[in-house]
Structure 1
Amino acid sequence: MIQARVIKPHDIEFFEVPAPEAKDLKDNEILLRIHKIGVCGSDIHVMHGQHPFVTYPVIQGHEYGAEVVAVGKDVTAVRPGDKATARPQLVCGECGPCRNGRPNVCEKLRVQGFQAPGCAQPYFVVPEDRIIRCAPHLSYEQIAIMEPCAVGIHASGRTDVKGKNVIVTGAGTIGNLVAQAVKGRGAKKVLITDVSDLRLEKARECGLENTANTAKESFEDAVKRVFGDEGFQCAFEVSGVQKCITDLVANIEKGSDIVIVAVFSKNPEVNLAVLDEHEIRLIGSMMYLHEDYLLADGMLADGRLNVDPLVTQRFGFKEYNEAYDCIDNHREECMKVMIDLEATE
């Protein structure tokens, strides 16, 4: 089978490697046929040599929709023919966070596609404890977006949003899904901001009616327009932009929570005097737990999450380099780029 590896920044090469076979599965393992792979922002950082925790060469791919081909004799969670995906987290199971039910912040966490080999090949093996059996009516493309859905669901659960006015800064794929998850958890009103008309249009297509382009409308005016005198009581920073965290700290209601979802390329400045005097809590959010994936599957299956408008470009498996070129050269036209392996063996 063909395997795609990032040999060094800006260079993906293809190799012929033996395909895993059903006869070689361990009792708890599952053989998957990969159909679709999503490209995310962290993948782009790897491609550009900007990810701090990657050693080259690396096999990318951690967002995927797959079909179960074969299972080990002890596997009960899925059976051949099921649609599935799997968490890409490799954890130790022994450190304090793992023992306390928070393996997403395992002290020895490795993530497939970054510190461990990813799924950029037609066949891939995963253990049962990370598998997610997906609703059969979901497409492989929708399933490939389940990983960012789980990110959004986990972030949206880091504080109580029910009945509150909420702002999400950053309308990329993750910001969009955070906003959808917040809405699904019972927020009163949700405003999502960005400086890209495309991303904001995609947000509206996904059912997020309150949007603001803060390159054209001030943050304060947008807050007033959407929330009136009520203001907002919760925020999610998903842009990684200094101005956004500055605006949130300066304008959020006292005693409120700001959840940090974005990865900042440069450490932002935060007004600690205001944070202290207004008793604002900054809360981190890291990836997801297994139950976040299960909820993502349920919310995709019943339509509470709408991911179809997010896919803006599609490329064949051997067009991986072209996919990254497209992202680099057409940033304002890209949301979720999808790699199609369905014709690849």
Structure 2
Amino acid sequence: MKALFKPEPGPGFELIDRPDPTAGPDDVIIRVLRTGICGTDLHILRWDDWAASTITTPLTPGHEFFGEVAWIGERVRDVAVGDQVSGEGHIVCGTCRNCRAGRRQMCIRTQGLGVQRDGAFAEYLSLPASNVWVHHESIEPDVGAIFDPLGNAVHTALTYPVVGEDVLVTGCGPIGLMAIAVARHVGARFIVGTDVSAPRLEMAVHMGADQVVDVSRADIADAQRALGMREGFDVGFEMSGAPAALPQMIENMNHGGRIAMLGLPSGPFAVDWGKIVTHMLTVKGIYGREMFETWNAMGAMLQTSATLRAAIASIISARFPARDWQQAFDAAAAGATGKIILDWTQL
């Protein structure tokens, strides 16, 4: 099969022939049709400090995908050949305390698809059947390929009740944009999105934000005044990882406000812990998706809301043949786009 492959430490990938994946009795083999490019994939391509400290080569990266089941192991019961599927990219141990308690998203031995084990940037992928999500309703392949990041957005947006609440979203990358759409769908009152990219702020308005703020030019408090808000934000989604984002969010939260933090900072930064205490704020780290409550929630919302389906589909900026992977990664790295898709039927 053809695969995007990193044979050894260092920048770059190679599109080369690789052995077909093997699978056990509890696994499935999936023919990959589409993949999304994630920020993690860009880190691995560039071989930055995070990649050098985390990744062991050789490796086939990629964890956002949509495909068709080509083979199932003898003990697989709920997945069939021909099923259209996406998949949960966190493979868990099943035996640690959290796994046994049903909190698999908190497994202490998680292996990441395309990070600690060969991933989806290939014609075929092996995955435990327990990680496979079968699309029982018709879905566009490109949208199916971004169920993983959509799950990040849904997990973040549903962490706290948002019906009738004022929501601040710092970071309008693809996941932040999807979180805006979900918060709007669920019933938030006012939603404010922040970024430093004008195109992404325009997309935030399209996704349902009532106000947007270029934080390099204006203050978040200006948006509160424009909306007639008398108190701070009730709920915050920190999606950027920018060092200034969380302190700015804390400064604009109402007393008793709740923050869900998905953005992964590149290093330590100062936080006013006194304000967190005296304003009685809650800050919760979000990583991945709940297995599989988040998957059920996002599947149900897309199934029942044409408006939300259209909003999520609009996140996809471009699709490239897999053979043009370098152009696709260049587009993803530009930073002012939505999601970039690779089409693995075009090699």
**Common fold, TM-score beyond 0.5?**
yes
Q: How far 1:294 sits from its partner (Å)?
A: 2.3
Structure 2 unmatched ranges of 5 or more: none
Aligned equivalents of 1:117 and 1:257: distance in 2? 37
Find the counterpart in structure 2 of residue 340 from structure 1. 343
Q: How far 1:64 sits from its partner (Å)?
A: 0.5
Task: Find the residue that maps to 1:147 and give its secondary structure.
Answer: helix
Q: Assess, with a 3 A threshold, how the Cα gap between structure 1 residues 132 and 36 changes in structure 2: closer, same or farther.
A: same
**Residue 330 (structure 2) pairs with residue 325 (structure 1):** yes
Which one of the candidate residues 295, 301, 304 is aligned to 2:303?
301
Q: Calculate the TM-score normalised by the size of structure 1.
A: 0.91
Aligned equivalents of 2:321 and 2:11: distance in 1? 18
Q: How far 1:209 sits from its partner (Å)?
A: 4.1
Q: Assess, with a 3 A threshold, how the Cα gap between structure 1 residues 57 and 25 changes in structure 2: closer, same or farther.
A: closer
Letter in 1 for 2:247: T
Q: How far 1:253 sits from its partner (Å)?
A: 0.6
Find the counterpart in structure 2 of residue 4 from structure 1. 4
Letter in 2 for 1:287: G
Contact 2:178 2:207 in 1 (8 A): no
Letter in 2 for 1:42: T
Give me the identity figure in percent: 25
Find the counterpart in structure 2 of residue 115 from structure 1. 116
The number of aligned residues is 339
Contact 2:190 2:210 in 1 (8 A): no
Letter in 2 for 1:156: A
Which one of the candidate residues 29, 40, 43 is aligned to 1:31?
29
Letter in 2 for 1:297: G
Write out aligned runs for 1:138-177 (5 A): 138-177=139-178
Aligned equivalents of 1:110 and 1:281: distance in 2? 29
Q: Deviations over 1:69-120 (max 9, x none)?
A: 2333443323233211111111111112212222212111110111111011
Find the counterpart in structure 2 of residue 40 from structure 1. 38
Write out aligned runs for 1:63-82 (5 A): 63-82=64-83
Aligned equivalents of 2:96 and 2:179: distance in 1? 29
Find the counterpart in structure 2 of residue 200 from structure 1. 201
Aligned equivalents of 2:117 and 2:20: distance in 1? 18
Structure 1 unmatched ranges of 5 or more: none
Write out aligned runs for 1:61-140 (5 A): 61-140=62-141
Find the counterpart in structure 2 of residue 250 from structure 1. 251
Farther off after superposition, 161-170 or 95-104: 95-104
Q: How far 1:261 sits from its partner (Å)?
A: 0.8
Aligned equivalents of 2:231 and 2:184: distance in 1? 18
Q: Calculate the TM-score normalised by the size of structure 2.
A: 0.91
Q: Assess, with a 3 A threshold, how the Cα gap between structure 1 residues 77 and 207 changes in structure 2: closer, same or farther.
A: farther
Letter in 2 for 1:291: E
Farther off after superposition, 206-215 or 58-67: 206-215
Letter in 2 for 1:323: A
Contact 1:224 1:231 in 2 (8 A): no
Aligned equivalents of 1:258 and 1:149: distance in 2? 19
Q: How far 1:25 sits from its partner (Å)?
A: 5.4
Letter in 2 for 1:4: L
Aligned equivalents of 1:25 and 1:106: distance in 2? 23
Q: Assess, with a 3 A threshold, how the Cα gap between structure 1 residues 88 and 221 changes in structure 2: closer, same or farther.
A: same
